[in-house]
Amino acid sequence: MKVFTTFVAVALLVAGSASAAERAQFYIPDKPAKLVYLFTCEGESQEAIAENWEKAKAVFASDHQEEAARLEAKTTAQRESGHAPSQEAIDAHNVEFNAHKAAVEADLAPLGCKMNGLVHVP
């Protein structure tokens, strides 16, 4: 019975991986802000992913990139000031950040894409 259970489990894993969606990672450089935005997209094929990525890239650039850069610049300036912000300022920033994050997720999810974060570049 143990061998049969193991066989069934392995068969299900193989079947699941055969029908799994494909995935690709992308990035958008933002030279003026000195940032690179990181994304992952999933789809039925690499062609579908590439098509959806082009749409997602356009949506992010037109609707979210400026706000992402502004929020990150605000965070960086606060860190570099050397002064701890008040709890009210932290809470206000968190509300602003979470609203932006939710808006990005809502716009990119129908395209099978999500923003994974960002990195600073010199």
Mean pLDDT of 38-65: 96
Which of 103, 32, 95 lies closest to 64, judged by CA? 103
Degrees to nearest 5, angle at CA 103 with 105 and 56: 55
What kind and span of H or E run contains 82? none
Q: Could you report the per-residue pLDDT of 79-110, keeping only the tens digit for each? A: 999 999 999 999 999 999 999 999 999 999 99
Rounded-to-integer distance, Cα 56 and Cα 25, Å: 12
- 59 within 8 A of 108, measured Cβ to Cβ: yes
- 69 within 8 A of 48, measured Cβ to Cβ: no
Rg (CA), the chain: 20
Q: In the numeric block, which tokens belong to residue 61?
A: 């650039």
Q: Could you report the per-residue pLDDT of 4-42, keeping only the tens digit for each? A: 333 333 333 333 444 457 999 999 999 999 999 999 999
